Each structure stands twice: as C-alpha cells, then as structure tokens.
Amino acid sequence: MGAFHWLGINVKGATKDARIIAFDFECEKFNNIQTPKPLDYSNEHPRLSMWRENLCLFIQDSRDCSSQIFVMKEYGVIDSWSKMYSIPDQAPEKCKLFRLWSMVCFIDDAKILLQHMYRPKVVLYDTKSCKFDELELLEDLNGGVLKKWSDVHAYVPSLVPINHRTTNATSKIK
C-alpha cells in the first residue's frame, strides 16, 4: 500500500540527529529510517525524493556547495544506501552568490531538476556531461518574469484516485 516519508530532527542539547520518518499506511505505524550518513544540519541541507521506486536523499553542503545523492536500494535496509551521484559546485555564473540548490526530481536516469533555494531559478543537471542548463521560467500574468515564488514540487499521483473514492461512497449510500 505504501508509506508517507518526511525528514525529522531529534534535538538533544547541541546534537541534532536527522532521521527519515515513515508512516506505513497498511500497518498504520510510524517507523524511523536511518540516513546514509550522519547529517550536520548547520551545514547540510537534505531533501527527500524518489529515484524510480526507491527512496532517495539529496544532501547539499553549504560549505562548498557540493551535493550528494543517495539511494536506498532495498527499502528499510540501512546498508543498502548507495551514493549515486556527487555534484560539484558548477552552478551557472549568474547564481554564484547564492549557490544553494534543492532537488525537485529526476527527469530520467541521467538528468536532475534542481530549484534554487533563494531565487526564482530552475536548472537541469546532466549527470553524464556534468553540466547545468538553466531553464527559462514562465512569465507571470503581468508579462514580467517571476520574481518571487514559494517552491517547486514534482507531481505524484494520489494514493487513492478520486473516482475510486466517489465509487465507494456511492455504493455505501445505496
């Protein structure tokens, strides 16, 4: 049936222990999943995503603006985390001042869509050529380029289709 995942931080004094928290819909139970490496939340910015059918963790280090992408090859098995990509700081020159990116999604096995964390910029990173390609943003309704935005997210279909819920509700009413 699946699980819903998010990042959690357990704060104990000066120590921050990062965990991936999962809610299993079938068992109706919460689980903790260990990250592939200890995270330094003062310098590392993690984001959860999916690669194919696998849990994926994107970590950018603000000290050198490099990024690492880890994939959990066997769900729930800590030793199955594998580093898939290391992305050096090769941000487009226009973005050098604030070089923090966050992963939106994989476009295919070789391309990653990244969103700038502080500016309205989206880039496509090609893991084979190790190059960034800055994408054009849509214009706003007034004809100008978007200057502010909240966040970019990949669309994931609902766990339960709307039609399914409607059909079940109708059959219960009869």
Average pLDDT over residues 85-94: 65
Closest residue by Cα to residue 56 from 23, 102, 91: 102
Tokens of 4: 């819903």
Closest residue by Cα to residue 36 from 23, 14, 54: 54
- DSSP output for 81-126: EEEEEEE-S---GGGSSS--EEEEEESSSSEEEEEESSSS-EEEEE
- The residues with which 150 forms a beta bridge, in sequence order, are none
Could you report the per-residue pLDDT of 126-154, keeping only the tens digit for each? 888 888 877 776 555 455 555 555 555 55
Give the C-alpha separation, 104 to 51, whole Å.
11
148 Cα distance to chain centroid: 20
Average pLDDT over residues 79-102: 69
Strand order in the sheet with 81-87: 44-51, 54-61, 67-72, 81-87
Could you report the per-residue pLDDT of 9-65, keeping only the tens digit for each? 877 777 777 789 999 888 899 999 888 887 776 777 788 888 888 888 888 877 777
The pLDDT value given to residue 94: 47
Per-residue pLDDT for 78 more than 80? yes
